[in-house]
DNA sequence: CATGAATGAGCGTTCATTCAT
DNA sequence: GATGAATGAACGCTCATTCAT
């Protein structure tokens, strides 16, 4: 894996930002038309390269999509990990995750569309994704929840796994709904609402 | 030859449930391989009919998928509406929706997989009907939430829309995760946990 | 051939005008949509019979078309032969042939369309037709021309074959043009014009 | 393998006349079997290219046929127009048209067959272009006839339209008959006979 | 005789991938 | 490296024909 990342860097070194151009073009085109309705030729055209050139940088059409998703998730993961260095409180950590997750919409709208659609197009793909990326997300949240439980901030009679899935699912659905309806929202504010529900529930107080 | 014909008759039982055999086969095959990786011929084979036979019952490949999803959701919707006749309390209503939603896994695992994948694709036809159904679900929950707010059971400072999406997303993700990891769960128990989180939050009490 | 005609009569005897209904329906449908765009099922529907029924009366879809054309031409041929019994003069005979040929448009417009289109759709079919029917037409005209030459009415320095083909072609093209443009014409008057050109030419008289 | 590649190169000569190879193959195959009985794969095979290659040069199967017919007629039309620059007399002009029309047989026998068959099919696209071309032919002749009438060479009591259709039909039928019976003829001589009939008629002089 | 559900070969077309240049 | 013409397998769908009823 490290090896592969290094190679990428080398390639994109010189004038080889063709690699990145192809990735971006793929995300855009696929977001607009769907994976199976996006011929490699359309991606190549958008990237401004010849069809065959794509195969100099990627093994297959599938590989382009996979790489784009992997790299997006990698960025998400790194951003969260970096912030955690100076962000200690479980509550704030959850809110930060929610916020970054929801921000993905505005950072790269095409990518957000793609993650809500193409990423889920086949059980096979999901199984892969579930194991590689989602699991990492869930782990992250579970650890935060467990730390909160240990600190007495969060209830101990609740499964951290269930909480983690609920949180991911809730945010993902809000994001998804915004993507499909074209609605805009304020990531910070929405994150705060979700965390409010998650922490305090909707039952009328006391 | 007679033997073979007899066998077919046995299989097809009453009369025209080739229609149903095709639907079931489609759901199975598409759940396994994805819509675009499931040739009509594969569906036909699984259903034990000739390729052309599918077009006696459906207008197109699209139509098969659409019909399968429509009918599944219709069943879900009706089940909930029926139960609501004798189930009044907002809290119980939410729990019932969660439970039926989670039960879909055991009722028809392939359909559950399919709902987690194909229903979200970007193809134009999804926008048409995926949303048609999801919107109905969200509406249902929003109404329950609003009634709870009016009755003073639920907090009034929270958007019913956000709550509805959170609930759907949380449950759907739990379902999805179970589907893809092959985990089993008890629908009633899981539903109760999710509703607990949703109503009371995870923050340690007072 | 006689045998086949007899059989047809027997079939159409009782309530078996299904045979004729199928022929008529085929001509109509094919005239409207073209042979290859006219499924047997469309012909059956128009005829008010089941698809399979057509195969009780005809060997194949091709056979229906062939039979319709054969029978139309047969009627034409008989009509001309009958009239010749009391119509002696070569000039009048030619004019009569032209008139009946041109009348086919009004007698059965669909059949006229079909003869101008589908009958010519493949070299194979034309070769058959050319040999079976057209040859008869040409022969008829050639004999009339030869008799006219013997009687000193027609020039002897002209090939009767060329004349016959010219006459058929000229009339057929007028008919065809009317069919395609939807124009109407008076068969008797048009026939008289064609024969005028054929007999007297268009050069200004001395 | 090298041998085979070399052979292909030899065949394809200069550069991109795959385009022409496909057109020629299409004309041949369609002339033999008819448009609807000529799968694209058969045309590709005859042209020595892969099925998909055809779609690099043409939009559809329809487009191949349309292009072939258009270009053939365009050549015919240009040849006539060019000759008219130095060919003034109406009589000679008619004879020239007849001759070029009849020569088409020897220039490209397959194309001649195709023009006698596919050009007249009922498919909608024929109405679009078959008539587009035929109308041009008829117009050309009508103008010549009218000029002849103005010059007092041709009778004025005869419709130029009828004459034009008669001439086209007569020649086309002679061509067609020769094509389908496999007969050969001398274009110049046959043209002269047809024009003789058209101008002077077959009635015995005075 | 008549039906029409069922078949499956065959079609036009697309597109991921290769490879000579 | 970069190109893009060429390939051909694969697809969704149609429809002539059959045959159990």
Give per-residue pLDDT as tens, A140-174: 999 999 999 999 999 999 999 999 999 999 999 99
Enumerate residues 6+ apart whose C-beta is below 8 A from C162: D174, D190, D193, D194, D197
Q: Are A197 and B201 in contact (CB under 8 A)?
A: yes
Q: How confident is the model at residue C25 (pLDDT cuts 50, 70, 90)?
A: very high
- State yes or no: pLDDT of B5 exceeds 60: no
The nearest CA of chain C is from the CA of D13 a distance in Å of: 32
Looking at chain B, the whole-number percentage of residues with pLDDT higher than 90 is 69
DSSP chain B: -HHHHHHHHHHH-SSSTHHHHHHHHHHHHHHHH-GGG--HHHHHHHHTS-HHHHHHH-SSHHHHHHHHHHHHHHHHHHHHHHHHTT---HHHHHHHHHHHHHHHHHH-HHHHHHHHHGGG--SHHHHHHHHHHHHHHHHHHHHHHHHHHHTTSB-SSS-HHHHHHHHHHHHHHHHHHHHHHT----HHHHHHHHHHHHHH-SBPP-
Q: Is the CB of D45 under 7 A from strand F?
A: no
Q: Are D138 and D107 in contact (CB under 8 A)?
A: no
Instruction: Using the C1' atom of nucleotide E10, identify the protein residue whose alpha carbon is closest.
Output: D39
Check CB contact under 8 Å for B177 and A37: no
Q: Which chains touch A (3 or more CB pairs under 8 A)?
A: B
The whole-number average pLDDT for the span D5-32 is 73
- Provide the CA D129 to C1' F15 distance, Å, integer: 28
> Domains, chain B, ranges and CATH?
1-64 (1.10.10.60), 84-206 (1.10.357.10)
Q: Are D31 and C125 in contact (CB under 8 A)?
A: no
Give per-residue pLDDT as tens, C66-76: 999 999 999 99
Q: Which of residues 27-46 of C touch D (CB under 8 A)?
A: 30-31, 33-37
Residues 7-46 of C with CB under 7 A from strand F: 36-41
Give per-residue pLDDT as tens, D38-89: 999 999 999 999 999 999 999 999 999 999 999 998 999 999 999 999 999 9
Residues 14-43 of A with CB under 7 A from strand E: 36-41
Give per-residue pLDDT as tens, A70-101: 999 999 999 999 999 999 999 999 999 999 99
pLDDT for the residue D112: 87
- State yes or no: pLDDT of D127 exceeds 80: no
Q: What is the average pLDDT score of chain A?
A: 89
The nearest CA of chain D is from the CA of C33 a distance in Å of: 7
Q: Are C95 and C191 in contact (CB under 8 A)?
A: yes
Residue A34: list chain B partners with CB under 8 A.
121-123
What distance in Å separates the CA atoms of residue B96 and residue B75, rounded to the nearest whole number?
A: 14
Residue A116: list chain B partners with CB under 8 A.
120
* Planar angle of CA D6, D7, D8, nearest 5 degrees: 90
List C-alpha distances in Å: C81 to B76, C76, C86, C93, C97: 76, 9, 10, 10, 10
- Provide the CA C41 to C1' E2 distance, Å, integer: 15
pLDDT for the residue D117: 78
pLDDT for the residue B206: 57
What distance in Å separates the CA atoms of residue A190 and residue A170, rounded to the nearest whole number?
A: 11
Enumerate residues 6+ apart whose C-beta is below 8 A from C164: C137, C138, C139, C141, C142, C145
Enumerate residues 6+ apart whose C-beta is below 8 A from D98: D167, D171, D190, D191, D194, D195
Reference A205, options B146, B206, B57; nearest CA is B206
pLDDT for the residue B6: 41
Interface test with B, best of A151, A170, A174 (most B CBs within 10 A): A170
Q: What is the CA radius of gyration of chain A?
A: 19
Give the DSSP letter of residue C50: -
Give strand ranges (E) for chain C. Answer: none
Q: Which chains touch D (3 or more CB pairs under 8 A)?
A: C
CA of C41: nearest nucleotide by C1' is F15
pLDDT for the residue B55: 98
Check CB contact under 8 Å for A193 and B117: no
Question: Count of C–D CB contacts within 8 Å?
Answer: 178
Which residue do the tokens 């077959």 mark? D202
Task: Choose between B54 and D5: higher pLDDT.
Answer: B54
B29 token code pair? 């095959």
What distance in Å separates the CA atoms of residue D63 and residue D70, rounded to the nearest whole number?
A: 10
Q: Is A168 on the interface with B (CB under 8 A)?
A: yes
Enumerate residues 6+ apart whose C-beta is below 8 A from D114: D27, D30, D31, D68, D69
pTM for the full predicted model: 0.88
What distance in Å separates the CA atoms of residue A150 and residue A144, rounded to the nearest whole number?
A: 10
- Provide the CA A61 to C1' E17 distance, Å, integer: 10
Q: Which residues pair with D203 in a beta bridge?
A: C154
Interface test with D, best of C112, C201, C205, C206 (most D CBs within 10 A): C201
D175 token code pair? 């061509």
The whole-number average pLDDT for the span B19-46 is 95
pLDDT for the residue C5: 42
Reference B41, options B17, B24, B57, B22; nearest CA is B22
What distance in Å separates the CA atoms of residue B171 and residue B169, rounded to the nearest whole number?
A: 6
Reduced to 3 states (helix: H, G, I; strand: E, B; else coil), residue A203 is: strand
What distance in Å separates the CA atoms of residue C33 and residue C35, rounded to the nearest whole number?
A: 7
Reduced to 3 states (helix: H, G, I; strand: E, B; else coil), residue A130 is: helix
Residue B147: list chain A partners with CB under 8 A.
none
Check CB contact under 8 Å for D171 and C169: yes
Q: How confident is the model at residue B126 (pLDDT cuts 50, 70, 90)?
A: low
Looking at chain B, the whole-number percentage of residues with pLDDT higher than 70 is 86
What distance in Å separates the CA atoms of residue C176 and residue C167, rounded to the nearest whole number?
A: 14
- Provide the CA B61 to C1' E4 distance, Å, integer: 23
pLDDT for the residue A206: 57
Q: How far out from the chain centre does Cα B11 lie?
A: 27
Q: Which residues pair with C57 in a beta bridge?
A: none
Q: What is the average pLDDT score of chain C?
A: 88
Which residue do the tokens 């030869």 mark? C146
Q: Are D114 and D183 in contact (CB under 8 A)?
A: no
What distance in Å separates the CA atoms of residue C33 and residue D121, rounded to the nearest whole number?
A: 10
The nearest CA of chain C is from the CA of D1 a distance in Å of: 38
What distance in Å separates the CA atoms of residue B152 and residue B22, rounded to the nearest whole number?
A: 49
Residues 31-60 of B with CB under 7 A from strand E: 49-53, 55-56
Instruction: Using the C1' atom of nucleotide E3, identify the protein residue whose alpha carbon is closest.
Output: C50
CA of A59: nearest nucleotide by C1' is E17
Q: Is D106 on the interface with C (CB under 8 A)?
A: no
Give per-residue pLDDT as tens, C93-106: 999 999 999 999 88
pLDDT for the residue B79: 96
Residue B173: list chain A partners with CB under 8 A.
165-166, 168-170, 172-173
Most confident of D40-49, D114-123, D176-185: D40-49
Q: What is the average pLDDT score of chain B?
A: 88
- State yes or no: pLDDT of A36 exceeds 70: yes
Enumerate residues 6+ apart whose C-beta is below 8 A from C172: C101, C116, D169, D173
Task: Choose between D46 and B131: higher pLDDT.
Answer: D46
Q: Are B138 and B77 in contact (CB under 8 A)?
A: no
Task: Choose between D107 and D151: higher pLDDT.
Answer: D151
What distance in Å separates the CA atoms of residue B129 and residue C79, rounded to the nearest whole number?
A: 64
The nearest CA of chain B is from the CA of A18 a distance in Å of: 27
Interface test with D, best of C162, C169, C187, C195 (most D CBs within 10 A): C169
Q: Are A124 and B118 in contact (CB under 8 A)?
A: no
Residue C121: list chain D partners with CB under 8 A.
34-36, 117-118, 120-121
CA of B47: nearest nucleotide by C1' is E6
Residue A138: list chain B partners with CB under 8 A.
177
Q: Is the CB of D39 under 7 A from strand F?
A: no
- State yes or no: pLDDT of D9 exceeds 50: no
Phi, psi of D49 (to 5 degrees): -130, 170
pLDDT for the residue C43: 98
Q: How confident is the model at residue A6 (pLDDT cuts 50, 70, 90)?
A: very low
CA of C51: nearest nucleotide by C1' is E4
* Strand E contact nucleotides, protein CB < 7 Å: 1-21
pLDDT for the residue A125: 74
* Strand F contact nucleotides, protein CB < 7 Å: 1-21
pLDDT for the residue A120: 73
What distance in Å separates the CA atoms of residue C34 and residue C28, rounded to the nearest whole number?
A: 10
Whether B and C touch (3+ CB pairs < 8 Å), yes or no: no
Q: Which residues pair with A154 in a beta bridge?
A: B203
Q: How confident is the model at residue D120 (pLDDT cuts 50, 70, 90)?
A: low
Residues 46-65 of A with CB under 7 A from strand F: 49-53, 55-57
The nearest CA of chain D is from the CA of C138 a distance in Å of: 11
- State yes or no: pLDDT of C148 exceeds 70: yes
Q: How confident is the model at residue A118 (pLDDT cuts 50, 70, 90)?
A: confident
Check CB contact under 8 Å for D180 and C130: yes
What distance in Å separates the CA atoms of residue B166 and residue D46, rounded to the nearest whole number?
A: 62
What distance in Å separates the CA atoms of residue C21 and residue C17, rounded to the nearest whole number?
A: 6
Question: Which range, of A14-23, B106-115, C36-45, D78-87, averages the lowest pLDDT?
Answer: A14-23
What distance in Å separates the CA atoms of residue C54 and residue C20, rounded to the nearest whole number?
A: 11
The nearest CA of chain D is from the CA of C4 a distance in Å of: 28
């Amino acid at each position: 894996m490290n090896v592969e990342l290094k190679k990428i860097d080398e390639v994109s070194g010189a004038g080889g930002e063709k690699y990145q151009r192809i990735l971006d073009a793929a995300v855009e085109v696929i977001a607009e038309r769907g994976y199976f309705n996006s011929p490699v030729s359309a991606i190549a055209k958008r990237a401004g390269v010849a069809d065959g050139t794509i195969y100099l940088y990627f093994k297959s059409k599938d590989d382009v999509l996979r790489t784009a998703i992997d790299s997006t998730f990698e960025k998400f993961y790194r951003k969260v990990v970096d912030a955690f260095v100076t962000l200690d409180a479980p509550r704030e950590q959850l809110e930060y995750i929610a916020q970054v997750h929801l921000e993905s919409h505005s950072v790269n709208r095409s990518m957000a569309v793609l993650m809500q659609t193409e990423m889920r197009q086949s059980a096979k793909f999901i199984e892969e994704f579930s194991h590689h990326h989602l699991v990492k997300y869930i782990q992250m949240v579970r650890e935060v929840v467990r730390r909160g439980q240990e600190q007495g901030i969060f209830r101990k009679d609740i499964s951290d796994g269930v909480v983690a899935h609920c949180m991911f699912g809730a945010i993902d659905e809000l994001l998804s709904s915004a993507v499909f309806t074209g609605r805009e929202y304020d990531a910070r504010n929405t994150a705060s609402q979700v965390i409010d529900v998650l922490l305090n529930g909707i039952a009328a107080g006391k």
